Amino acid sequence: MKTHLLCAIAQLNFKLGAIDENAQAIIRAHQQAAAQQADIMLVPEMYLSGYQLDDLILVDGFMDQIDAAISNLAKLTANNAPAMIICAPRRAGGKLYNSVYVLDGGVVVATRDKVRLPIGGVFDDPRNFAHGVMPEPVVIRGVSIGLPICEDLWHADVVRHICQHGADIILCPNGSPFEIDKTDQRIQTAVGRAVENKVPVVYVNLVGGQDDQIFDGASFAVNSDGSLGCHMPSFVEALTMITLTGDDNGWTVAGTVTKPEEGLAAIWRCVVLGIRDYVQKNGFERVILGLSGGIDSALVAALAVDALGADQVEAVMMPSPYTSQSSLDDAREQAKRLGIRLDDISIAAGMDAMDAALADSFARGDAGLARENLQSRLRGLTLMSISNTTGALVLTTGNKSEYATGYATLYGDMCGAYAPLIDVWKTTVFALATWRNANHPQGVLGQDGEIIHPDIIEKPPSAELRPDQKDTDSLPEYAVLDDIMQQLVEAMISPSELIKNGYDAAVVTRCARLLRLAEYKRKQAAPGPKVTKRAFYRDRRFPITSAYDGIGD
């Protein structure tokens, strides 16, 4: 009986659809594993293709490239090189599977398919994948190893079946995107499977941004007694060696334990990685945004600098006759603190020109709201024109509270390619700004210190589209609004239930109505990083045309 196994855990950042590029990353990791005399290298779920593929997997020729890449990778395991456990889609019998491939001795020695296909939240695996059969373990380098894939670990029957058929160790590849408190949930689930079946569980996760989904890594291993044997860092690539040791009492796992990011630090790192990967994986280098002197644009600018560096971030101040001097001063100070370029382009002339062009139309009714939205749309037009000229990607600056209520202008402040704060509530925006001024996160490119102007954090939020305007003219106080909206959106509690629980009926009814009416705007919003349990992009799928208000009689 083999009693010692050295396993390399390859927590890698992928580029979806870049099969050859991902294969090269696997090769580099395999070389590192070989240099450290690993027996096996484990790679995350669907790494070779990237995840989630949606209907890209159906494109003619895609699976041919996958098959060719796997064949080439298998050859690298010849001559006593480390075995590889890699993950990719697999086709068989006219069906597609989410699969794990065991490569050893220069060939593919086994495959196992994902049994439990997640549906709901951000996932819709059954759309393109077939369910696998209950898997049995694979003997790799003399050890019986179970290979459940991601969701399979959350189902006790799958792991129980594997262990009843003789698995000594569970190696579980995952593609699990970040959300608040998800790390603890993963560990507790793995501990449950480990203790129930008296086997160690090794969990390797993807890292990197893919549109709205940010995979945080944070791979780990737990022992059969529930103790933590290894924990890898969050939001960065890493290759870690773990030692698995067996005796008459079973197997244990040992490695380096790194404390994962939590709370505001984790949210910050998530959004930074989301910006960086969205920009760079889509072939851009620079970003541009409107800098108003308000908290949202200041925070997005700071996040962009942390993601890309100050020399790759450009801001534009676009004052109107309603822009206060304090906002102009705050925007300039904010740009100075971040070390970014700031252009000043007034929209006053554009407002006058549009007022003249639309005079007859404006005379047909109350044009107050139209004139307010016109300002926002002129700013969007300005940013997109600069983007077309310079090739910089436009970042939008709206937050989740605004997207929830529709307190945003289509083709105006919603204009852009990526929305870093789309899943960040306004109250969290303030908390993040204060936190970043007191902390310098690991791996960021921005400077330490008070990078967000304190005056911006302290002043009341305002769109400044009319004289003396405040957000609270149109919305409840953000502490009240966010509390109600979190329960409506993330907890899916009905308005009638909130009212029964003691919330003010008028405020709840108003919030629910705003949420329902803004659905058409959210359908046209740019994607942004998922942070909470239920984001707007994939997690919450509501119809635009709907008369249901959830209030009841």
Residues known to be catalytic: 45, 114, 150
Tokens read off for 284: 């851009």
Secondary-structure breakdown of the chain: helix, strand, coil percentages, each rounded to the nearest 5? 40, 20, 40
In this structure, the number of other CB atoms found within 10 A of the CB of residue 480 comes to: 16
Whole-number Å distance between alpha carbons of 229 and 242: 8
- 251 forms bridges with which residues in the sheet? 246
Return the sign of the alpha-carbon dihedral for residues 272, 274, 276, 277. positive
Structure tokens at 222: 């737990």
In one-letter notation, the amino acid at residue 121 is: G
Residues sharing a CB contact under 8 Å with residue 433, sequence separation 6 or more, in sequence order: 295, 298, 299, 302, 452, 456, 457
CB-CB contact of 426 with 478 (8 Å):
yes
Nearest to 241 by CA among 183, 205, 202: 202
Q: Which residues contact 209 (CB under 8 A, 6 or more apart)?
A: 215, 273, 274, 275, 276, 277, 278, 281, 529
CB atoms under 10 Å from CB of 447, counted, come to: 15
Q: For residue 553, count other CB atoms closer than 10 A to its CB.
A: 3
Instruction: Tell me the three state secondary structure of residue 74.
Output: helix
**Of residues 296, 418, 460, 320, the one with CA closest to residue 377:** 320
Beta-strand ranges (E) seen in 156-257 are 169-174, 201-205, 207-210, 213-216, 220-222, 228-231, 238-247, 250-254
Question: Rounded to 5 degrees, what are φ and ψ at 231?
Answer: -145, 125
Integer-rounded Cα Rg, in Å, for the chain is 26
Q: Is 133 exposed, middle or buried (0-12, 13-18, 19+ CB in 10 A)?
A: exposed
Instruction: Using the Cα atoms of residue 44, residue 45, residue 48 and residue 50 in order, give the sign of their dihedral.
Output: negative
CB 395 within 8 A of CB 289: yes
What is the spatial distance between Cα 172 and Cα 169, in angstroms, rounded to a whole number? 10
Check whether the bond before 52 is cis (ω within 30° of 0): yes
Which is nearest to 51 in space by CA: 295, 232, 297, 215? 215
End-to-end distance of the chain based on CA atoms, in angstroms? 70
Give the contacts of 335 (CB within 8 A, at least 6 positions apart).
Answer: 291, 301, 315, 341, 342
